[in-house]
């Protein structure tokens, strides 16, 4: 199964992608997580990406595409993947098409997660992330058992620098300008499916998995 997650920051793509990845045994490939890992390790790529990430702006396409090209060549990605946060521009989507054509591995579905702007700000400003394993929490909607500590691995939870309200607004504007055109791009190819991303997280997962099950089993003729 090859899945792309589309939707504004804070739509819950990361949370749902990690559940899809468990259910289908495919890697959850988050370009945001990859950049953050590079930052933490102090790589040249991390240094280059930092200025854009801090400002809530997109990292230039060529850097992102090179990173994804490499990641998709790993063994674990040969039978499927769930791409979270990529592509984010038409240029990235076209580059991805070229990569996938070379390997004859087409996209199965593009899931669009829809939420409104105020909800995004509420969600992201309350979001906490595990420093060790990347598990995502929310101070109200999905709190850990012990404040500041990851249930999954015991790691320390922190707030991302770009989850401050001002930066969130910039990220939302970038979504509308750069990424929303992808909805049309994939709709025209019959790949776009909507998932209502509001309400209980488990309900959103049920809706997401129902869409994927539907794709796996085409309706009887
Ligand atoms: P995310 O965790 O997906 O919200 O990504 C965090 C930040 O990483 C974004 O605000 C961008 O600065 C950068 N980033 C992640 N994915 C991409 C992408 N596909 N294209 C450009 N920049 C990206």
For the CA of 85, the closest atom of ligand 1 is 3
Q: What is the pLDDT of residues 131-189, one digit of tens each?
A: 999 899 999 988 999 999 999 999 999 998 889 888 999 999 999 999 999 999 999 99
Cβ of 31 less than 6 Å from ligand 1: yes
Mean pLDDT of 99-111: 94
pLDDT at 103: 86
Q: Is the CB of 83 under 6 A from ligand 1?
A: no
Three-state DSSP state, 8: coil
CA 56 to ligand 1 centroid distance, Å:
8
Residue 85 CB less than 6 A away from ligand 1? yes
33-78 confidence digits (pLDDT tens) = 999 999 999 999 999 999 999 888 999 999 999 999 999 999 999 9
Asked if pLDDT for residue 220 goes beyond 70, the answer is no
- Provide, rounded to the nearest whole percent, the portion of the chain with pLDDT above 70: 98
Helix (H), strand (E) at residue 81: strand 81-84
Please tell me the residue having the least CA distance from ligand 1 atom 8.
Answer: 32
- Buried (b) or exposed (e) across 32-63, using 16+ Cβ within 10 A? bbbbbebbeeeeebbeebeeebeebbbbebeb
Ligand 1 atom showing the smallest separation from residue 30 Cα: 3
Which entry of 88, 112, 123, 128 is annotated as an active-site residue? 88
Residue for token pair 């401050």: 164
Q: Which residues contact 90 (CB under 8 A, 6 or more apart)?
A: 181, 182, 185
- What is the residue-averaged pLDDT of the chain? 93
Q: Is 58 in the pocket of ligand 1 (CB under 6 A)?
A: yes
Tell how far CA 155 is from the center of its chain. 22
Higher pLDDT, 216 or 6: 6
Annotation says 13 is catalytic: yes
Q: How much is the pLDDT for 52?
A: 94
88 is catalytic: yes
Give the distance (Å) from ligand 1 centre to CA of residue 112: 17
Q: Which residue has the tokens 């579905």?
A: 109
Residue nearest (by alpha carbon) to ligand 1 atom 1: 32
- Span from the CA of 12 to the centroid of ligand 1 (angstroms): 15
**Ligand 1: which of 32, 51, 136 to mutate, judged by most atoms within 8 Å of the beta carbon?**
32
DSSP secondary structure letter of residue 75 = G
Burial (Cβ within 10 Å: 0-12, 13-18, ≥19) of residue 155: middle
Residue 217: the pLDDT is 66
pLDDT of amino acid 219: 55
Q: Which of 23, 160, 169, 207 is catalytic?
A: 160
- 105 vs 142: CA distance, rounded Å: 36
d(CA 164, CA 168): 6
């Amino acid at each position: 199964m090859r899945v792309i997650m589309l939707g504004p920051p804070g739509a819950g793509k990361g949370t749902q992608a990690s559940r899809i990845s468990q259910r289908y045994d495919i890697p959850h490939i988050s370009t945001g997580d990859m950049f953050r890992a590079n930052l933490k390790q102090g790589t040249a790529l991390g240094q280059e990406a930092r200025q854009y990430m801090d400002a809530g702006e997109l990292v230039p396409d060529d850097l992102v595409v090179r990173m994804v090209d490499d990641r998709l060549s790993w063994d674990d990605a040969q039978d499927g993947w769930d791409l979270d946060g990529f592509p984010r521009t038409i240029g990235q989507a076209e580059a991805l098409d070229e990569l996938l054509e070379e390997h004859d591995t087409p996209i199965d579905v593009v899931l669009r997660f829809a939420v409104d702007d105020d909800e995004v700000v509420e969600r992201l400003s309350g979001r906490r992330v595990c420093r060790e394993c990347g598990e995502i929490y929310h101070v109200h909607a999905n709190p850990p058992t012990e404040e500041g500590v990851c249930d999954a691995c015991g790691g320390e939870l922190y707030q991302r620098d770009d989850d401050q309200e001002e930066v969130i607004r910039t990220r939302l504007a970038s979504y509308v300008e750069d990424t929303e055109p992808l909805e049309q791009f994939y709709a025209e190819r019959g790949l776009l499916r909507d998932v209502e991303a509001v309400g209980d997280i488990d309900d959103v997962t049920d809706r997401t998995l129902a869409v994927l099950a539907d794709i796996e089993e085409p309706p009887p003729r």
